[in-house]
Amino acid sequence: MVILKTPAEIDAMKEAGRLSAKALRVVGEAVRPGISTLELDALAEEVIRSEGGIPAFKGYGGFPGTICASVNEEVVHGIPSAKVILQPGDIISIDTGAIVDGWVGDNAQTFPVGKISPDKKRLLEVTEQSMWAGIGAARPGNHLGDIGFAIQSVAEAAGYSVVREYTGHGVGRDMHEEPSVFNFGRKHTGLELCEGMVLAIEPMVNMGKRKVRSMPDGWLVCTRDGKPSAHFEKTIAITADGPIVLTQE
């Protein structure tokens, strides 16, 4: 069941969105060669708790971190670790979520570590563009398939592939509500979008082939071909006038 939000509820969700975005920004600013993903995790937790928020991922299904930190060929759900030290030329996907007043915000971004190769830079640019294309399609009267189509079109036009096993989702008092928001699809198919839907739109785009595999820790997901992957995400609300981004400062 899709839980629609009233305009007042959407307003209330902006605070969780703002804090999620702040945590992501602060952690992104701290990304540099030599820092561990566990240090980034501690920073995110400090930012979220300092403003009275609760890390949304910590303890979710047993996940131990405040952030998901996924480097290079790691797609999503990397567990922060003191052993993972960022190196120049890496890319790191960071996902942060905060709960404020019972509402959840969820967002992600892939950051460069120092100077990165032109092909990695392009992967980041295209993945972000695909996210914005998906957000642009999130308006009343469109369908879920229009979001997926928009994302897939941008990613595949650039020669990349879209991960199919993981999707965006509804967001509310739970981090993962219905519907699943696929990052591929056909126009005018699927659930019709309407005012009051709050969705996390989050393409995962691979430089190589789309296939992924789960790693033995039960969380980490990597590309099968070992090529890099990027992930951008924002939580948005669909209003009569179109989408508004909730995960922004």
Rounded alpha-carbon distances, angstroms, from residue 160 to 12, 74, 163, 180: 37, 16, 10, 22
Angle between helices 118-136 and 144-157 (to 10 degrees): 160
Beta bridge partners of 237: 198, 244
* Count of other CB atoms within 10 angstroms of residue 119: 10
* Count of other CB atoms within 10 angstroms of residue 28: 16
Minimum Å gap between C-beta 106 and Mg ion is 4
Q: Which is nearer to Mg ion, 91 or 204 (CB)?
A: 204
Q: Which stretch binds Mg ion (CB under 5 A): 8-16, 22-30, 102-110, 129-137?
A: 102-110
Q: Which stretch binds Mg ion (CB under 5 A): 24-32, 101-109, 111-119, 179-187?
A: 101-109
Q: Which stretch binds Mg ion (CB under 5 A): 26-34, 142-150, 182-190, 195-203?
A: 195-203
Minimum Å gap between C-beta 171 and Mg ion is 7
Return the DSSP state at 80. P
Minimum Å gap between C-beta 233 and Mg ion is 5
Buried b (16+ CB within 10 A) or exposed e, 36-51: bbbbbbebbbebbeee
By CB under 5 A, the residues from 147 to 176 that bind Mg ion are: none
Beta bridge partners of 239: 242
For residues 249 and 233, what is the distance between their CA atoms, to the nearest angstrom?
Answer: 15
* Count of other CB atoms within 10 angstroms of residue 247: 28
Q: Which stretch binds Mg ion (CB under 5 A): 11-19, 77-85, 86-94, 100-108?
A: 100-108
Q: Which stretch binds Mg ion (CB under 5 A): 51-59, 147-155, 159-167, 193-201?
A: 193-201
Minimum Å gap between C-beta 158 and Mg ion is 23
Minimum Å gap between C-beta 175 and Mg ion is 7
146 forms part of the interface with Mg ion (CB under 5 A): no
**Position among 200, 204, 207, 220 found at the interface with Mg ion (CB under 5 A):** 200
177 forms part of the interface with Mg ion (CB under 5 A): no
**Is 177:3 a contact under the CB 8 Å cutoff?**
yes
106 forms part of the interface with Mg ion (CB under 5 A): yes
User: Position 118: which residue type?
Assistant: P
44 forms part of the interface with Mg ion (CB under 5 A): no
Q: What is the dihedral of CA 19, 6, 138, 203, to 10 degrees?
A: 40
Residues near Mg ion (CB under 5 A):
106, 200
